Structures are given as structure tokens and as C-alpha cells.
Amino acid sequence: MITINDNNEIEIFNIVPVYRGSRIIKYITSASITDINLVSDRLQYDEKTQRGYVDRKAKKGKIESTRIYNTLNLLEMKEKILEDFFDGGLLTWNVRVQNAEDAKAVCEFVPEENKIIIKGNITLPDSSQRHMVIAGLKDFNLRINPSSYCFPLAISLYTLAEEQNLFSEINGEGQRASKTRALFLNNSIKSALLKEIIHETAKRQCGDSNWSNS
């Protein structure tokens, strides 16, 4: 369960902390469609750890930067949620910290209530497209119960560099690059070159029916 307290902080209940030595690196829980929509405006898309943006022409010739994503994938996910079986995998959040020692300043663990209190915004090291689909479901007359349709959720407490490494691990730096592959995998020269290649490919294909405004 997720709530917003009187201080506009996010409270998440029924969590399991994951330790690395004495450091809590993440919490595991679940979140419903209703929960995710409650905090959707606090979930930030950061191109430094996601697929990035591409410039494309909008109305009246105006150039706009839009997220890189695959519209067909979004439609398929939405249809599966509404009509069929959809596992959805693990949703991934990060409460970004400056260093491991300052985690308590942005995310407080309250063990006696089995909850955490998140005091800032949340970035999405992965699962951005799934969040887009889930957030869009609020505009539909759902036959499913959005309060009981839940997804597993991991909430990390990582620095920017650790978050970038997490995205690299999840998305597989060694795999063949595709137009929806991460633009930032890590700080290596190889990944910087890959970023440029994917960006140029996305620019050339921005008129494809598989691409759309965010």
C-alpha cells in the first residue's frame, strides 16, 4: 500500500529490506495500479539512466524532444492488462542518493511499522514503458480492480553511477543495440559510441508508426 502523508512524503508499507553488509540497497514490495497512479507525478524519467529523447517535428513545424519508446509495445501491454494475462515483471524505482551514507535523508525506514518514507522524487532506472501504460489506464473504464491488480516493485537507494550500472545490467550491454536500447549504459567509450548510434537511428526513424509523442 502507498499513501501520501501530511508532509507530502510517500509512505510505502509491507516492505522487505535487502542488505549489503550494513547498507540497505533496496526494498522489495508490491504496488497496485492505484498506488502507481497516486505517485505518478513523482516518478521521473531521466535520460542519463533511460533510453533518452529524440527531436521530431510537431504541429506547425515546431521541434519537440520526445521520449524514445515503442508504441506497439505499449499497446500490447495495455491490451494484455485489460484483456489477457500480463505478468509485467519487476517495476524498478530508485530514490537517488549522493552517497550511501545519506540514504536516510531521502528515505527513512520505520521497521516497527514495516514501512519506508520517501522524502523526494523517484527515478526510473528501468520499466519506464510499463509505468507509461499503467499511468494511462486511469483514463479507461476498467473491468479489472485497479486497487488489487498489483506488480512486484523494487525500490533502490543508489547513486547516479550505481543507477546507471543497474540499467546496464538489466538491459544487457552485450546485446545487439536496438532503437529502444538504453542510450546510457555506463561511462565507457563503447557505450558513449553506442549512444550516438542509437540516437541517430532514432532520428531517422521518428516518422515510423512505431514512434509517438510521450
Question: Which string of DSSP letters, residue by residue, matches 167-209?
Answer: HHHHHTTTSPP-TTS-S---SSHHHHHHHHHHHHHHHHTTTST
**pLDDT at 4 > cutoff 60:** yes
- Residue tagged 532506472 (cell numbers): 125
**pLDDT at 183 > cutoff 90:** no
**pLDDT at 71 > cutoff 70:** yes
**pLDDT at 186 > cutoff 50:** no
What's the rounded Cα separation, in Å, for the pair 33 and 148?
8
**pLDDT at 62 > cutoff 80:** no
C-alpha angle 123/197/178, rounded to 5°? 65
- Contact status, residue 78 vs residue 84, Cβ threshold 8 Å: no
**pLDDT at 34 > cutoff 70:** yes
Instruction: Calculate the average pLDDT of the chain.
Output: 78
CB atoms within 10 A of CB 2: 20
- What is the b/e burial string over 180-195, where b = at least 16 CB atoms within 10 angstroms of the residue's CB? bbbbbbeeeeebeebb
